[in-house]
């Protein structure tokens, strides 16, 4: 009985998530519009990135402004190894994650030593270093003109069904992106709700208090960095094998702004928020293409307004407002 | 030999460690070029540093203000008068007002909310502002490069070393502007109030300094110094909507390297960065020069967060 009621409360707590999860599963059955599927795949990539950044920045207080660098490292590492060594793109996902985490170790020393804005600055500088390295080692990375001919995912034989990946029908890409996103989000959610996540939040509130409580601050922060960059790395690898072309522009600050915008739209310190925010960001960006250059002007303006008016995230703010309104109304009734 | 990188690269993988030989003339030429660039970096860094010190804010729109300064100069010279002095003054004045307005509209509401998330909220706001301004510039001015005729023509030759007069003039004017700002901050009533605010907000308020009047002025001052750099370099480089990205980054790098609270240190840091960049750029490539600058910044933040010559801020 106890397990049943706890299951019930778990479902009730994550109801919105479960509804979205089922909806996500059904979409390729509802529409076969390849363009919509493509946009959703891009949204899932951004959502995974956003969620991993949210864990690092929102829960861990490590305000990385170079998250896109790990995304790029994952993509380039997997692409280069698959092109030069003929490794399977499936292994590439793991390679991407591992390389991104290894790269994060290099920058971890200063990041774990410093606080607040310094972390933003140093990670931003790191992303610029990564950009220049991609330009400099052009024999390997393709340089400014981009890395072409990244192999696509090989077909997967599951015995009962054979899954092939192609542009004509993106359904399998869609489900792969979807699964990767769901795995990442569930893992991140479990991590932040666990005792490790709790300690991470204590460290964010006050490093002194955490140390007094005997929490090894370096260990927990390093754990957060490694998990977050691993996720950014493998989703970068997925992006590389999906688009089959990588350009050094992914390391630009504009990618970071997309991540921030998606997270801020959906809700900061929520993990889930990034999903809703990313779908909104990608679709708005596409459908506002008619506005040409005005699009980015509007985006910049919207982000400024969000930071001013709803610093915890737009949708989260709306939900909080609505639920407090509902409470007030139902409180008045009796 | 089995290389680490699979398919063997066309040349040895350590090609970037080879150094070409330098003659004395080249060395002096590179030093002079580095000092000139260093003064531009210092001027950009000064505005960035004033905002960082006074408002505890990293001005990621600094490059955008530089770009605005360049365009105001272009239109002033082409539409109003050919006098570059007027163009520079105009670009500083307009950008100063613009900076005040930006602070009032976007930064003040966040500041009023409390100091907790101020730095990061400010960072996101200014990054968005810079994206907004860059794209607005594309709409308004177009993407084509615009050029301004040089303020002075020709070059001087000292021995074998050639110095372009325009660059020398711009660098000297940068040095003069840095000096003026230094005197303003040290000697005038407003300057002293700004420094008091930077050192201790509560004490400054008790002594009758009103931060809500000063913050827009500080932001405007920082912005107008960036615009001044944009005006001075308008005849050296072409003007385009994205021209500010690199100078904006250099402002940030030079302030990290030199630290806050010492104008002399800022100039020295700028010149060191300029000389390093000019040598690395000559010996390897510009990409390596940027890479080295960013790497130096990372090393400095890690081991000496207050900068090489900084006297404040841990």
Its ipTM equals 0.80
Domain count, chain A: 1
In a domain, A135, yes or no: yes
Percent residues over pLDDT 90 in chain B: 43
Q: Is B303 exposed, middle or buried (0-12, 13-18, 19+ CB in 10 A)?
A: exposed
User: What is the extent of the structural domain holding B94?
Assistant: 23-126+185-303
In a domain, A146, yes or no: yes
CA distance B258 to B217: 24
Tell me the pLDDT tens digit for each residue of A77-117.
999 999 999 889 999 999 999 999 999 998 888 888 887 77
Angle (deg, nearest 10), helices A253-266 and A273-287: 120
DSSP code for B239? B
In a domain, A17, yes or no: no
pLDDT category of residue B2 using cuts at 50, 70 and 90: very low
User: What is the extent of the structural domain holding A46?
Assistant: 31-252
pLDDT category of residue A39 using cuts at 50, 70 and 90: very high
CA distance A254 to A259: 9
- Please, which residues 245-304 of chain B have a Cβ atom closer than 8 Å to chain A? 249, 252-253, 256, 285, 287-288, 290-291, 294-295, 297-298, 301-302
From the list A120, A136, A254, which residue is nearest B287 (CB)?
Answer: A136
Please name every residue paired with B162 in a beta bridge, in sequence order, or none if there are none.
B157
Q: Are B172 and B35 in contact (CB under 8 A)?
A: no
A260 to B124: CB separation less than 8 angstroms, yes or no: yes
Q: Which of A93, A123, A112 is closest to A221 using CA atoms?
A: A112
DSSP code for B177? H
Q: Are A64 and A56 in contact (CB under 8 A)?
A: yes
Among B132, B143, B254, B314, the residue to mutate for chain A (most A Cβ within 10 A) = B132
In a domain, A149, yes or no: yes
**Looking at residue A105, what is its pLDDT?**
92
In a domain, B299, yes or no: yes
Tell me the pLDDT tens digit for each residue of A213-251.
888 888 999 999 999 999 999 999 999 999 999 999 898
In a domain, A81, yes or no: yes
Tell me the pLDDT tens digit for each residue of B184-236.
998 998 888 888 888 888 888 888 888 888 999 999 999 999 999 999 999 88
User: What's the mean per-residue pLDDT of chain B?
Assistant: 86
**Looking at residue B17, what is its pLDDT?**
55
Which of the residue ranges A10-24, B9-23, B130-144, B199-213 has the most confident prediction, judged by mean pLDDT? B130-144
Question: What is the rounded end-to-end Cα distance, in angstroms, of chain B?
Answer: 49
Domain count, chain B: 1
> Which of A226-230, A293-297, B31-35, B175-179 is predicted least confidently?
A293-297
In a domain, B72, yes or no: yes
Higher pLDDT: A197 or B18? It is A197
Dmax (CA) for chain A in angstroms is 74
Q: Is the pLDDT of residue B6 over 60?
A: no
Q: Which of B222, B220, B223 is closest to B100 using CA atoms?
A: B220
In a domain, A18, yes or no: no
In a domain, B137, yes or no: no
In a domain, B106, yes or no: yes
The number of C-beta contacts closer than 8 angstroms across A and B is 122
Nearest-neighbour CA in chain B from A319: distance (Å) = 21
A253 to B135: CB separation less than 8 angstroms, yes or no: no
The residue of chain A with its CA nearest to that of B61 is: A300
Residue A99 near chain B (CB below 8 Å): no
Q: Are A127 and A65 in contact (CB under 8 A)?
A: yes
In a domain, B132, yes or no: no
Q: Is A76 exposed, middle or buried (0-12, 13-18, 19+ CB in 10 A)?
A: buried
pLDDT category of residue B12 using cuts at 50, 70 and 90: very low
Q: Are B155 and B164 in contact (CB under 8 A)?
A: yes
pLDDT category of residue A168 using cuts at 50, 70 and 90: confident
B131 to A254: CB separation less than 8 angstroms, yes or no: yes
Tell me the pLDDT tens digit for each residue of B121-132.
888 899 889 989
In a domain, B164, yes or no: no
In a domain, B167, yes or no: no
Q: Where are the beta strands (DSSP E) in A140-214?
A: 147-148, 156-157, 162-163
In a domain, B133, yes or no: no
């Amino acid at each position: 009985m106890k397990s049943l009621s706890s299951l019930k409360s778990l479902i009730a707590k994550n109801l919105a998530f479960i509804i979205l999860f089922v909806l996500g599963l059904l979409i390729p059955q509802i529409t076969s519009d390849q363009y919509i599927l493509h946009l959703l795949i891009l949204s899932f990539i951004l959502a995974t990135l956003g969620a991993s950044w949210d864990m690092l920045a929102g829960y861990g207080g490590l305000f990385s402004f170079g998250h896109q660098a790990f995304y790029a490292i994952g993509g380039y590492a997997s692409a280069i190894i698959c092109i030069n060594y003929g490794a399977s793109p499936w292994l590439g996902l793991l390679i991407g994650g591992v390389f991104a985490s290894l790269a994060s170790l290099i920058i971890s020393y200063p990041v774990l030593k410093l606080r607040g804005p310094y972390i933003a600055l140093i990670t931003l500088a790191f992303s610029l270093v990564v950009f220049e390295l991609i330009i400099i080692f052009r024999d390997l990375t393709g340089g400014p003109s981009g890395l072409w001919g990244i192999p696509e995912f090989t077909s997967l034989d599951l015995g009962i069904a054979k899954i092939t990946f192609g542009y004509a029908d993106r359904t399998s890409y869609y489900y792969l992106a979807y699964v990767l996103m769901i795995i990442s989000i569930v893992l991140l959610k479990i991590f932040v709700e666990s005792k490790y996540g709790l300690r991470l939040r204590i460290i964010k509130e006050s490093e002194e208090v955490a140390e007094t409580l005997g929490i090894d601050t370096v260990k927990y922060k390093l754990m957060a960095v490694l998990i977050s960059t691993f996720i950014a790395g493998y989703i970068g690898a997925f992006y590389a094998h999906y688009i089959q072309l990588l350009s050094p522009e992914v390391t630009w600050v504009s990618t970071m702004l997309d991540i921030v915008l998606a997270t801020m739209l959906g809700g900061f310190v929520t993990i889930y928020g990034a999903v809703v925010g990313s779908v909104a960001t990608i679709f708005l960006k596409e459908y506002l293409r008619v506005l040409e250059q005005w699009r980015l002007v509007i985006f910049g303006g919207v982000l400024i307004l969000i930071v001013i008016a709803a610093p915890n995230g737009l949708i989260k703010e709306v939900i909080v407002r609505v639920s407090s309104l509902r409470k007030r109304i139902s409180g008045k009734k009796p | 030999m089995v290389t680490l990188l699979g398919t063997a690269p066309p040349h040895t993988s350590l090609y970037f460690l080879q150094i070409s030989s330098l003659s004395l003339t080249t060395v002096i030429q590179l030093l002079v070029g580095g000092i000139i660039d260093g003064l531009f970096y210092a001027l950009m860094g000064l505005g960035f540093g004033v905002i960082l010190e006074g408002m505890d804010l990293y001005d990621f729109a600094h490059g955008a203000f530089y770009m605005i300064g360049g365009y105001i100069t272009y239109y002033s010279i082409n539409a109003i008068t050919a006098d570059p002095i007027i163009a520079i003054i105009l670009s500083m004045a307009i950008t100063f007002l613009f900076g005040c307005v930006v602070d009032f509209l976007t930064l003040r509401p966040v500041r009023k909310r409390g100091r907790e998330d101020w730095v990061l909220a400010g960072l996101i706001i200014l990054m968005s502002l810079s994206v907004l301004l860059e794209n607005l510039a594309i709409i308004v001015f177009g993407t084509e490069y615009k050029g301004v005729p040089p303020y002075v023509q020709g070059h001087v030759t000292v021995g074998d070393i050639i110095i372009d007069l325009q660059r020398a003039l711009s660098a000297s004017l940068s040095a003069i502007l840095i000096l003026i700002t230094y005197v303003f901050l040290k000697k005038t009533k407003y300057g002293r109030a700004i420094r008091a605010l930077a050192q201790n907000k509560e004490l400054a308020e008790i002594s009758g300094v009103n931060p809500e009047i000063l913050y827009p002025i500080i932001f405007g001052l920082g912005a107008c110094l960036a615009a001044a750099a944009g005006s001075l370099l308008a005849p050296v480089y072409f003007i385009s909507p994205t021209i500010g990205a690199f100078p904006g980054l250099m402002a940030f790098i030079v302030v990290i390297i030199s630290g806050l609270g010492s104008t002399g240190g800022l100039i020295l840091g700028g010149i060191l960065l300029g000389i390093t960049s000019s040598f690395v750029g000559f010996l390897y490539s510009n990409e390596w020069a940027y890479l080295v600058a960013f790497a130096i910044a990372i090393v400095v933040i890690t081991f000496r967060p207050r900068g090489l010559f900084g006297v404040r801020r841990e």
